[in-house]
A = this chain, B = another copy of it.
Amino acid sequence: MTTATTEPPAKTTLPRHPLIKDGWFREINDKCFPGQAFAIKVSEILHTSQSDFQDILVFQSESYGVVLVLDGIVQCTERDEFAYQEMISHIPMYLHKNPKKVLVIGGGDGGVLREVVKHDCIKSATLVEIDKTVIELSKKYLLEMSTAFDHPKVNVELCDGFKYLKQVRDWEYNDKFDVIITDSSDPEGPAEAFFQREYFQLLQGALKDDGILIAQASENVWLDLKYLTKLIKTAKSVFPNTNYCYTMVPSYTSGQLGLIVCSKQYDLNLTIPTRLPTENEQGLLRYYNPEIHSSFVCSSNLGKFND
Question: Interface residues, chain A, CB within 8 Å of chain B?
Answer: 24, 26, 33-41, 61-64, 80, 222, 248, 250, 254-256, 289, 291-292, 294-296, 299, 301-302
Contact = CB atoms under 8 A, between A and B. Distances in A.
Number of copies of this protein chain within its complex: 2
A63 B41 contact: no
Given A255-B254, A291-B299, A63 B38 contact: no
Nearest to A21: B22
Contacts of A254: 250, 255
Nearest to A298: B291
A26 B37 CA distance: 9
Contact of A291 (B39, B64, B302): B302
Contact of A35 (B37, B41, B80, B301): B41
Contact of A41 (B34, B62, B255): B34
B291 A301 contact: yes
B37 A39 contact: yes
A87 B39 CA distance: 27
Nearest to A253: B250
A219 B123 CA distance: 42
A80 to B, nearest CB: 7
Contacts of A24: 37
Contact of A302 (B33, B64, B292, B299): B292
A45 B63 CA distance: 31
A62 B34 contact: yes
20 contacts: A24-B37, A26-B39, A34-B62, A35-B40, A35-B61, A36-B40, A36-B63, A36-B64, A37-B38, A37-B41, A38-B39, A80-B222, A222-B250, A248-B248, A248-B256, A250-B256, A254-B255, A291-B299, A291-B301, A291-B302
A37 B294 CA distance: 31
